[in-house]
Amino acid sequence: MREFVFTVEYERGADEVMDLFIENPDLHSKTMAIHATSESMWRLDRLTGPTEALEAFDEVIEQATRCNGVLGMCGAPVVEWDYEVLSETPNGRIVYSCREEGDGIQSIPHVAAKHIGDGLLMQAERRGAQNQWRLLISDDDTVSEIYEEVKDSLSDGLSLSVQRISEPECWLEEGVSADGLPPEQQAALEAAVEFGYYETPRQHTVQEISEELDIPNSTLQYRLTRAEAWLARQFVTGTLGTEVEERVDPEKLEASA
């Protein structure tokens, strides 16, 4: 299997929903599941961000689902749109949506379903002006077909870039794995949690924990600092941000495939 990663970038004013992401850099959306056929698309998305941005998102989506002539991704005409919030917190949402599109230009999941067929797997992530897509594709020839159709279907104010066509990198693990954390740093984190170092109010200081573990205070502090930095990088890379890899020259796409 090959992983095809590409990004659609939106200019301000090109899409009302994406304008919210542009105006609220801390607003983030990532699919938990997404499926498509030639007739409809349904998905689960996890949204996180400031309360005000999420409330604005709710309002925009509610208005859109009630309007006639709504245009979806890439200007695709939406015939029917069902939307439901399954879980809600001040800083998060899990939302379900199901859409049917009319004739003519089709959105990215429908294009992918048409070319890949049964067994389609995809992910999508929105942040800022970017909506990034990942597809698992077994036939390299399909990459160029999807790329060309998506590129030709983009509405005004949208642009397409390719990040990579490679072995799958982002599908095998979910969440943070401790495999890359040295054992002594992992033990330091476990001890800090056990002794309530991360509780509010803090139950024990680093010095008190180091005395319990019979190691120098500076050693424990160093291990905790390194472990916390590692966790922060893992969280940002695996949960928050879209990829920032070098973009692929479209003219080299077919050769790369």
In a domain, 186, yes or no: yes
C-beta pairs of 32-35 under 8 Å, 24+ apart in sequence: 32/94, 34/109, 34/122, 34/123, 34/124, 35/109, 35/120
**Are residues 233 and 155 part of one domain?**
no
* In a shared domain, residues 159 and 225: no
* Chain position carrying tokens 């429908």: 110
In terms of domains, do 27 and 152 share one? yes
What is the distance between the alpha carbons of residues 231 and 224, in angstroms, rounded to a whole number? Answer: 10
What is the tens place of the pLDDT at every residue in 94-117?
999 988 877 766 788 888 988 988
Q: Residue 42: name the closest of 109, 98, 124 by CA.
A: 98
N-terminal to C-terminal alpha carbon distance within the chain: 12
Domain count, the chain: 2
Q: Are residues 193 and 87 in the same domain?
A: no
Q: How confident is the model over 145-191, as pLDDT tens digits?
A: 999 999 988 888 999 999 988 888 666 555 555 556 787 888 899 89
Of all residues in the chain, the percent with pLDDT exceeding 90 is: 39
State mean pLDDT over 38-66: 86
State the pTM of this model: 0.68
- Find residue 97's DSSP bridge partners: 43, 83
Q: Is residue 23 in a domain?
A: yes
Q: Are residues 74 and 149 in the same domain?
A: yes
Q: Is residue 245 in a domain? A: no
Domain stop point among 138, 164, 190: 164
pLDDT given for residue 21 in this prediction:
94
pLDDT at 179: 57
Query: H/E/C letters for each residue in 194-242?
Result: HCCCCCCCCCCCHHHHHHHHCCCHHHHHHHHHHHHHHHHHHHHHHHHCC
Q: Say what the pLDDT of residue 147 is.
A: 92
Split at pLDDT 50, 70, 90, the class of 81 is: confident
In a domain, 113, yes or no: yes
Amino acid, res. 116 = I
In this structure, the answer to whether residues 151 and 212 fall within a common structural domain is no
Domain containing 192 equals 181-237
Same domain, 119 and 7: yes
pLDDT of residue 86: 92
The residue written with tokens 């390299």 in the block is 140
Averaged pLDDT, 39-60:
90
Q: Do the domain assignments include residue 57?
A: yes
